[in-house]
Structure 1
Amino acid sequence: MKSDDVKILQEVQKNTKMAIKAIDTISEKIYDDDLSMHVTRESMRYADIYNKATDRLLNGKAASYRETGFQDMMLKGGVRANTMLNTSTSHIAELMIQGSNRGLTSMWKAVNHYENAGNISMEIAKELMDFEEKNIERLKQYL
Structure 2
Amino acid sequence: MRSDDAAIYREIQKNAEMGIKAIEAVSPKLTDDAFALQLSRQELKFSEIRDKARHEMLEGRAEEYRSSGVTDLMLKGGIQANTLLNTSTSHIAELMIQGSNRGLTSMWKALNHYENAGNESTELARELMDFEEKTIEKLKKYL
Fold agreement, TM-score > 0.5: yes
Does structure 1 residue 93 correspond to structure 2 residue 93?
A: yes
Matches within 5 A, 1:1-143: 1-143=1-143
> How far 1:23 moved relative to its partner?
0.4
> How far 1:22 moved relative to its partner?
0.6
- 1:108 and 1:80 map into 2 onto residues whose CA distance is 28
> How far 1:84 moved relative to its partner?
0.5
> How far 1:12 moved relative to its partner?
0.2
CA deviations on 1:62-98 (whole Å, 9 max, x unpaired) are: 0001111100000000000000100001000000000
Amino acid at match of 1:51: D
**What runs of 5+ residues in structure 2 fail to find an aligned partner?**
none
- 1:66 and 1:93 map into 2 onto residues whose CA distance is 27
- 2:67 and 2:50 map into 1 onto residues whose CA distance is 14
> How far 1:111 moved relative to its partner?
0.5
CA deviations on 1:25-60 (whole Å, 9 max, x unpaired) are: 000111001100000000000000000000000000
Divergent runs of 4+, >4 A = none
Q: TM-score, normalised by structure 2?
A: 0.99
Amino acid at match of 1:108: W
- 1:53 and 1:103 map into 2 onto residues whose CA distance is 16
